Amino acid sequence: MSANPEFQGYLRQDGRKGIRNTILVAYLVECAHHVAREIVYPFRKDGAHLIGFGGCYPNQYAFDMMSRLCCHPNVGGVLLISLGCESFNRYSLAKRVKASGRPIETLVIQERGGTLSTIEKGRAWLRQTLAALEETTKLAPMTVNELIVGAICGGSDATSGITANPAIGRCFDLLVAHDASAIFEEGGELIGCERIMAERAVTPELANEILSTMEKTARYYTIMGHGSFAAGNADGGLTTIEEKSMGAYAKSGSSPIRGLLKPGDAPPRGGLYLMDVVPDGEARFGFPNINDTAEIAELIACGAHLTLFSTGRGSVVGSAISPVIKVCANPETYRRMAGDMDVDAGRILEGKATLDEVGQEIFEQTLAVARGAPTKSESLGHQEFVLTYKTFEPIGPACLPL
């Protein structure tokens, strides 16, 4: 392996490069979900992905998320599906996508003759755009330092914090050593680790921001009555939230924490970043308990080209837009669900591999996926996507110190 491995990326007008060239079909209210899904269905194996926002009441967070996702470097074009009377500002979203240089079309069901007519028109546009996409998208050399990689854990058990999570941490250290960007999150599962994280911050000001964010997280979970310790975690052998938190923290590796992001904030340079997923302000929107799929979307909105997903019990979810690499912590789960898992980190428990060896394997798998190799969830057609109501304030200068 070369010092700075190189592969081909899809060059976008803003200079960023993607590792996939998908077309998004995005519904702008739940009432348009069925029509959008029917448009995508015949093309789901050809690079068409379905995303959307179900709410009718406007929300700035949802608009910003949709804007970032529709202009993600892995996205080559966008078809917006509107009912026609929802509050989502389809004009502004279409304007942003058009300004990014991507092909964009908006179909309004109430203006296009209803369900069947809109589906027919949408499929015709999708067929034509997919056929032209590979010819119209430029390829350019891409190196590891241009990658943004996210990490999340779901369906955790007692093995997660021993094998898969620290192995992902080893991979993160390798990525940071190549000046790539690595993002970890799940504040609700990091409660108790705030001072350890603050000690790794590159400036005292950033350390204070991390402490403040974790105080907000603990307060929010108390108000909402949420907890990040599920029955399935206990069934899998986890005993306390402290044990789960330390396991989740292990995904971050050992590099200095360079910044604190919120959903949609792109890392300005290579390094390790913490993403805050807990809403700011009064607890007034229906923010659910930990939702892996929603948080993967938030990592993607920060520019993540792909996501490393640690699981002990076994999770099958993938994602629209960016591939998901499943790192299985439990060797028994891997043997039972090998068709859904990309990396068997449970070999560490059986003495068949070390943490460093599995970390290197995850790093090499990341490069393979960046070069175009499909993950298991991609091959199976998983495109899970969730976008909820939230509220965030902009990050301050202390969150991204120079």
pLDDT, one tens digit per residue, over 279-297 is 998 876 556 556 889 999 9
Q: What is the mean pLDDT of residues 228-253?
A: 65
Q: How far apart are the first and last CA of the chain?
A: 31
Note the pLDDT of residue 1: 42
Is 70 exceeded by the pLDDT of residue 54?
yes
Is 90 exceeded by the pLDDT of residue 349?
yes
Q: What is the mean pLDDT of residues 304-327?
A: 95
> Positive or negative CA dihedral for 165, 167, 173, 179?
negative
Q: What is the mean pLDDT of residues 312-319?
A: 92
Which region among 39-48, 87-96, 213-222, 258-267 has the lowest average model confidence (pLDDT)? Answer: 213-222
Tell which wins on pLDDT, 310 or 156: 310
Q: Which domains does the chain have, with CATH numbers?
A: 6-140 (3.40.50.2300), 147-399 (no CATH)
pTM of the full predicted structure?
A: 0.94
Asked if 34 and 359 touch (Cβ cutoff 8 Å), the reply is: no
Which region among 65-74, 128-137, 169-178 has the lowest average model confidence (pLDDT)? Answer: 128-137
Asked if 180 and 270 touch (Cβ cutoff 8 Å), the reply is: yes
Note the pLDDT of residue 190: 87
Alpha-carbon span 317 to 382, nearest angstrom: 6
Note the pLDDT of residue 2: 46
Q: Map residue 228 onto helix, strand or coil.
A: coil
Is 60 exceeded by the pLDDT of residue 231?
no
The overall average pLDDT reported for the chain is: 92
Q: What is the mean pLDDT of residues 88-117?
A: 97
Note the pLDDT of residue 397: 96
Alpha-carbon span 62 to 53, nearest angstrom: 7
Indicate the DSSP class of residue 265.
P
Q: How confident is the model at residue 257 (pLDDT cuts 50, 70, 90)?
A: very high
Q: What is the mean pLDDT of residues 33-51?
A: 97
Q: What is the mean pLDDT of residues 347-363?
A: 96
Adjacent-strand bridge partners of 51: 26
Tokens of 319: 């994602």
